[in-house]
Amino acid sequence: MALPAYASPTERLWHGVYLIVCTCVFLFLVAPILVIIPLSFSSEPWFTYPLPGLSLRWYQDFFLNERWRIAIDNSLIIAISSTLLATLLGTLAALGLSRGNIPLRGLIMGILISPMIVPVVITAVAMYFGYALVGLTDSYLGVILAHTALATPFVVITVTATLTSFDRSLIRAAAGLGAPPSMAFRKVMLPLIAPGVISGALFAFFTSWDEVVVVLFLGSPEQRTLPRQMFSGIREQISPTITAAATFLVVLSALLMLALELLRRRSERLRGMRG
Amino acid sequence: MTTRVDFKAKNGEATKGELALPETAAKAPAVVLIQEWWGVDDHIRSILTRLASAGFLAVAPDLYDGEVVPISNEPRASERMNTLDWGRAIAQIDKGPWKEAFVAVDPVWGELDFWRVLERSSHKLTTFYLLSALDLRYDSSGHVAKTFPDQAIFLDVYGRTLLISFLVTAATLLLGYPIAHLLATLPKRTSNLLMILVLLPFSTSILVRTTAWVVLLQTNGLINDLLVWIGVLSERVQLIYNRGGTILAMTHIQLPFTVLPIYSVMKTISPTHMRAARSLGAGPFYAFWRVYVPQTLPGVGAGCLLTFILCLGYYITPALVGGPLDQMVSYFVALYTNRELNWGMASALGAMLLAVTLVFYVIFNRVIGIDKMKLG
């Protein structure tokens, strides 16, 4: 923000203070993340600057050590499965709820979104007791279903947001031109709401990918995911392999951000096309 | 060894029982053993045998007429016990007065408190865990009272949870407000670039950010290195596993959650308002405080409520960065579920946390509306 020309010297001084404060806060936000990235390339197992030397040994450990390998595989299996389920269920829920004539819409929406707000430990305990009754604890299916429940709200929210700007007369136009409902959905509606669905799916993927509390409750060592492995790694003995894992995850989330930004632009363009 | 015997109940009815005789004395004191709800099973027989080897004549009247409910079939046992003909059963157990007999076995049977405890525990539902979760208990007269001071920990835990959440919320507001303002007032190109600095941490896993803080705050960690190098500290200090470290790490994680709603509200405020205020003679601070700040309050409310609600449920970060006295309610829910296996307590604590969270959720929903929340 540029200062107006009539600013007094005191005001200029305060403006300087304000800019310094902002710089510090931005540093506070990114420095911790940026600082651990170089540490993952350190040749020695302690966390000091300047780096004693460069090495890829922690990445070698991360990608080749069986414990980490299994954790990566588990995370991928669980995240992909729950993303598919959550995207399907969340999109259907959003489509249904966006019709005007749904009774108790607010209540249903509130319940669907509650896993985002309810402390995850409570969700995890409830699932632990509930899934124990039907024998789903300590199983992949249990963790996948639990992550689906946690991830669905993100899909519901993104798709609902996209649907608010969706012009329903397009469906009527398609129907008028002879398209059966399923075809109108596939050829007209889905391409237009696709950015919302895909960004919902990305959020769902990262919800599951980052999730550790539910895995701690519901999973056995067999379902050990990447965050779970990191969690016990930090608790027991913090090794630089964890910084390699962290760097790997930072790169992934940067990619996620990029993907979401591209989707947002595309969605804006589609909206612009209509307007 | 026990033997099946037939005898006559007090009401004259023929009944059966299990009898164990002591090996030594022919005339021995007798113990009437009352079966559990499973019936006269191997367990009861083994106790009869033990009583007999201790020199008692031990007899267990079979109140179920020979039926033994398998230990896995709790519903059947419950059904069997609840449909028991007590008049008949008492006749089978034979004669009183029981009070003296019970008291003779253990004086505790003569105390009213003991029976109160039995009475309270005999219901399907109990308020015991919920009361314990509020540091309350039943006193000897059956009234709700404060629990013993050495067991009263939970009110402290709620207080701590609220305090940490409040401090983190305040810290995020304090740090977040200026940068939200900067982001909202800078030209689009620059602000988009700076936005990355907010969004990158936002989209990075909580575990990664917690790892970063663990690495930084360690006694051999970088912050200590830096402080010693600058000369602020003469020797390394413990920065981690305490309240300060917990609040610092949580503030870092929650900052984007507070910033983004404030930013999106500030974005809609036209800069002409400030210019108008200035041109009408308001000083820069007066104009900012009376014209700009009130317009940002919806965003401040949304951001702070969101952060506060999310903070209430924190588990991972305090568990990794905090010390024993910085653990919040979630930690105890997890502890009672996974380690102590006290599920009643876990559920009661969870219910308390949920209730508090829902109160704030309802406020949030009223004030902001959850379905207006936007992602990305």
Task: Please give the share of chain B, as a percent, with pLDDT higher than 90.
Answer: 19
Residues 320-349 of B with CB under 8 A from A: 320, 329-330, 333-334, 337-338, 343, 346-347
pLDDT at B373 (0 to 100): 54
Residues (pLDDT < 50) of chain A are: 274-275
Note if the bond before A50 is cis, omega within 30 degrees.
Answer: yes
Q: Is B122 contained in some domain?
A: no
Let me know whether B349 and B210 are in one domain. yes
How many whole angstroms separate alpha carbon A109 and alpha carbon A153?
9
Let me know whether B165 and B295 are in one domain. yes
Q: B97 is written with which tokens? A: 């007065």
With contacts defined as CB-CB under 8 Å, which chain B residues touch A253? Answer: 200, 203-205, 208
Phi, psi of B145 (to 5 degrees): -140, 170
Residue after which a domain boundary falls, among B58, B85, B110: B110
pTM of the complete model: 0.76
| Mean pLDDT of all residues in B127-146 | 79
Let me know whether B104 and B174 are in one domain. no
Residue type, B130: L
Q: A35 is written with which tokens? A: 């600082």
How many whole angstroms separate alpha carbon B374 and alpha carbon B261?
9
Let me know whether B182 and B99 are in one domain. no
Q: Are B216 and A32 a contacting pair at CB < 8 A?
A: yes
Q: Is B146 contained in some domain?
A: no
Q: Whole-number mean pLDDT of chain B? A: 83
Q: B116 is written with which tokens? A: 């109160």
Q: Is B119 contained in some domain?
A: no
How many whole angstroms separate alpha carbon A219 and alpha carbon A214?
8
Residue after which a domain boundary falls, among B110, B145, B176: B110
DSSP 8-state assignment for residue B289: I
Q: Are B376 and A263 a contacting pair at CB < 8 A?
A: yes
With contacts defined as CB-CB under 8 Å, which chain B residues touch A238? Answer: 211, 214-215, 218
Q: Of B304, B269, B305, B302, give the one whose Cα is nearest residue B287.
A: B269
Order the strands of the B14-20 sheet from edge to edge.
B3-8, B14-20, B57-61, B30-32
| Mean pLDDT of all residues in B190-199 | 87
* Number of domains composing chain B: 2
Let me know whether B362 and B222 are in one domain. yes
Residue B98 has pLDDT above 70, yes or no: no
With contacts defined as CB-CB under 8 Å, which chain B residues touch A243? Answer: 211, 215
Find the closest chain B residue to A244 by CA distance: B208
Q: Is B282 contained in some domain?
A: yes
Q: Is B300 contained in some domain?
A: yes
Ordered DSSP codes for A175-231: HHTT--HHHHIIIIIHHHHHHHHHHHHHHHHHHHHH--HHHHHH--GGG--HHHHHH
- Measured in angstroms, the CA of B312 and the nearest CA of chain A are apart by 7
Q: What is the pLDDT of residues A210-235, one digit of tens each?
A: 899 999 989 888 889 999 998 888 88
- The answer to whether the complex's ipTM is over 0.85 is no
Only one residue has tokens 């936002």, namely B202
Q: Is B249 contained in some domain?
A: yes
B177-180 LR contacts (CB < 8 Å, sep 24+): B177/B262, B177/B296, B177/B300, B178/A18, B178/A21, B178/A22, B178/A25, B179/A22, B179/A25, B179/A26, B179/B259, B180/B259, B180/B260, B180/B262, B180/B263, B180/B266, B180/B299
Which domain CATH number covers B179? 1.10.3720.10
Residue A220, Cβ neighbours under 10 Å: how many?
13
Q: What is the pLDDT of residues B145-154, one digit of tens each?
A: 887 777 788 8
Let me know whether B77 and B181 are in one domain. no
How many whole angstroms separate alpha carbon B79 and alpha carbon B64?
12
Q: What is the pLDDT of residues B34-88, one digit of tens each?
A: 888 888 888 888 888 888 888 787 888 888 887 888 877 777 888 888 788 777 7
Which domain CATH number covers B74? 3.40.50.1820
Phi, psi of A206 (to 5 degrees): -75, -25
Kind and range of the H or E run holding A168: none
| Mean pLDDT of all residues in B118-130 | 78
Let me know whether B83 and B179 are in one domain. no
- Confidence label for B19 from pLDDT (cuts 50, 70 and 90): confident
Let me know whether B210 and B284 are in one domain. yes
Q: Is B115 contained in some domain?
A: no
Residue after which a domain boundary falls, among B110, B141, B167: B110
Domain that holds residue B304: 154-372
Q: What is the pLDDT of residues B282-341, one digit of tens each?
A: 888 888 899 999 988 888 988 898 899 999 999 999 999 988 888 999 999 999 888 888
**Straight-line distance from the first to the last Cα atom of chain B, in angstroms, rounded to the nearest whole number:** 76
- Measured in angstroms, the CA of B337 and the nearest CA of chain A are apart by 7
Q: Is B286 contained in some domain?
A: yes
Structural domains of chain A in order of their starting residue, each with its CATH number: 67-274 (1.10.3720.10)
Q: Is B128 on the interface with A (CB under 8 A)?
A: no
